[in-house]
Amino acid sequence: VGPPGTGKTLLARAIAGEANVPFFSISGSDFVEMFVGVGASRVRDLFEQGKKNAPCIIFIDELDAVGRHRGAGLGGGHDEREQTLNAMLVEMDGFDSNEGVILIAATNRPDVLDPALLRPGRFDRRVVVPRPDFKGREEILKVHVRKIPLAPDVDLSVLGRGTPGFSGADLANMVNEAALLAARRNRKSVLMDDFEQAKDKVLMGVERRSMIISDEEKRNTAYHEAGHALVATMMPGTDPLHKVTIIPRGMALGVTMQLPVDDKHTYTKDFLESQLAVMMGGRVTEEIFLGKLTTGAGNDFEQATELARKMVCEWGMSEMGPLTFGKKEEAIFLGREIAQHRDYSEDTAIHIDQEVKKIVMNAYQRARTCVEQNREALERIAQALLVREVLDAADIKLLIEGKPLPEKPAPPAAKPAEVEPAPSLKAAPKPAPAFTKGSREKPAPA
């Protein structure tokens, strides 16, 4: 059990190589087909093969495809899947014993599985495969860079510490992107700079330098992102600022990226309130410096409202007290909830809305105070963004202190290919941000 990309199927492959017994693998979606009874028949055949080759291991990938919660036939057409599940339940621990057959399954949706499938005697142990911690990320990177020549400046421990929240698949993708960047520049080894750019690409998507933006829009974006960056730097208790960019990436016109120092599992109320203030920094700056409002803050408000509502309804961080409001509807044949059950009165709903508004407006006032007290610093950050397009945390700190920025280092020269002259390649894109507390969205066309 674990989120996507953490290595559940990889773990099964490792078991297959180490167990020294017959290993059968099948996907949960391979059982049910167009003919009635095929699913149950395949389950019986699979376990029959297992009994003949005992001791053996049977591995079912994506178990949620066949092991979903049985319902009253909502939506129709589910009797076949339920029959397949019933056959599996009987084979796993029914009237006949299956000694010598060990069953392993993988899923990232344990919440939708049938309770009868998870009881002791069928699946006795639930192994959680979480996202790797700092040490785990470093070890995963060591595996992926074995066949890649690294430059002396590459420090895997720094990369491991700078990628909190990455899954094993994300790390593999990052190493692959870094190798491609180095190859594009005709280099024989991968530099630390390649890894940094690859990290940004994995987190935020590809730069869209070809996108045509007017000077006015660019200026609006620069001030908006400067507001996020200033509040993120000055506000106590927030995640440290990593990078700010006004180069369009993904669906955003600009991004302010923060990265936590360590892996976090719980959050304090002070931290959440500071993060809300960071989200409000963009709109506050537009009001004070540009004197007009833009649609660029839409995504910030969406995130802020959702976070504030969770603080009130789920985490008991408001004057409503230590209560939760709204039960999630358990939709039997749908993976996610389709509605929330209202278990509170209209009067309580009004109070919840008032508390949500109060939390967001308090964050707005904190952001406004911060921006007004540091107007000159914000102006310097915005102007530097218009010139350089990308600034990191050290640059922002220098600008706030009123010190000049160092000259930009020249990009490393590409070595010519030795075998034959290669066609000239464009320089790879500049590094740009990643995980985002306030990405500036481009408005959808009317």
Q: Are 367 and 231 in contact (CB under 8 A)?
A: yes
Q: Which residues pair with 439 in a beta bridge?
A: 255
What CA–CA distance (Å, rounded) separates 231 from 219? 19
- Residue 328 three-state SS: strand
> Which letter does DSSP use for residue 287 in this model?
I
Main-chain phi, psi angles of 210, to 5 degrees: -75, -10
User: Which residues are paired to 190 by β-bridges?
Assistant: 150
- 313 CB-near residues (< 8 Å, 6+ apart): 324, 325, 326, 352
Start-end of H helices in 286-417: 298-313, 346-373, 375-388, 393-401
**How far is residue 95's CA from residue 91's CA, in Å, rounded to a whole number?**
8
Please provide the DSSP assignment of 377-411 as one string.
Answer: HHHHHHHHHHHHSEEEHHHHHHHHHTPPPPPPPPP
What are the CA-CA distances from residue 303 to residues 20, 307, 369, 381 (Å)?
Answer: 50, 6, 21, 24
Residue 145 near residue 156, CB atoms below 8 Å = yes
Cis bond before residue 404 (omega within 30° of 0): no
Residue 305 dihedral angles phi and psi, to the nearest 5°: -65, -40
CA–CA distance, 370 with 368 (Å, rounded to integer)? 5
Extract the tokens encoding 232: 């993120």
Q: How far apart are CA 254 and CA 433, in angstroms?
A: 9
- Which residues are CB-neighbours of 45 under 8 A, at least 6 positions away? none
Residues with a catalytic annotation lie at 225
Residue among 426, 410, 418, 409 at smallest CA distance from 188: 418
